[in-house]
Chain A
Amino acid sequence: EAQVTQNPRYLITVTGKKLTVTCSQNMNHEYMSWYRQDPGLGLRQIYYSMNVEVTDKGDVPEGYKVSRKEKRNFPLILESPSPNQTSLYFCASSPPIRGGGEPYEQYFGPGTRLTVT
């Protein structure tokens, strides 16, 4: 089954304790990205990656790191989490673009609810 998986689904941690949220897709997609969703602010992009070893900042990258060492995985790293990073996180993937320039739809993971105390 084609899917995007995230782990863990729920995480409660303390300020300053490094954590990694994993994201994996089995569709051989080149493009992957991370979003956070907060009440009243909608989904905001954190980082994205157009291919292996190619990553770039989205709208809210501060406090986050990513890596893309292989095509299927795109982990989100919080080196020193703070309470303002308490949020619902989504990973997404898609092919880059269709012939003719039509953007592909994105496939989203189930979400990771992170609480930082």
Chain B
Amino acid sequence: DAKTTQPPSMDCAEGRAANLPCNHSTISGNEYVYWYRQIHSQGPQYIIHGLKNNETNEMASLIITEDRKSSTLILPHATLRDTAVYYCIVRVRGVRGNNDMRFGAGTRLTVKP
């Protein structure tokens, strides 16, 4: 699986959009980008994933660059409850086997009032 690089921490004002970047410059064509978050030692929570098209769900939007070397997770209206560590993970497609998600250090997002 491709390696990802994320900033260690970010701040965001409550009510504003939080844009969390992830670099995955070695991603290959059969790898998906997944985002999870972990709120203060709780179990990681799935947010969204995509292959090459932009994706949106009730929690967030995922923007993947055309060359797929980077992506941005967007929380459109951040609240205090979005304060968490956000993990960007790249997972290979088509391998029936260990569905291990390789969590790196992630980005610690702090939403401030």
Contacts and interface: CB of A to CB of B under 8 A. Distances in A.
Interface of A: 4, 31, 33, 42-43, 45, 48, 50, 56, 58, 88, 90, 92, 94, 96-97, 100-111, 113
Given A33-B99, A45-B100, A105 B46 contact: yes
A106 B99 contact: yes
Contacts of B44: 43, 90, 92, 106, 108
Nearest to A43: B103
A50 B104 CA distance: 23
Tier of interface size on chain B: 20 to 34
A4 B88 CA distance: 22
B34 A105 contact: yes
Given A101-B94, A105-B34, A107-B46, A33 B100 contact: yes
Contacts of A4: 43
User: Which of B91, B99, B104 has most chain A Cβ within 10 Å?
Assistant: B99
Task: Rank and list the top 10 A-B pairs by shortest CB-CB distance, nearest first.
Answer: A101-B94, A108-B43, A105-B46, A43-B103, A101-B93, A103-B91, A108-B44, A42-B103, A45-B100, A97-B96
Nearest to A97: B96
Contacts of A48: 98-100
Given A42-B104, A42-B105, A104 B43 contact: no
B43 A109 contact: yes
A97 B100 CA distance: 12
Interface string B91-113: 11111111111011100000000
A92 B99 CA distance: 10
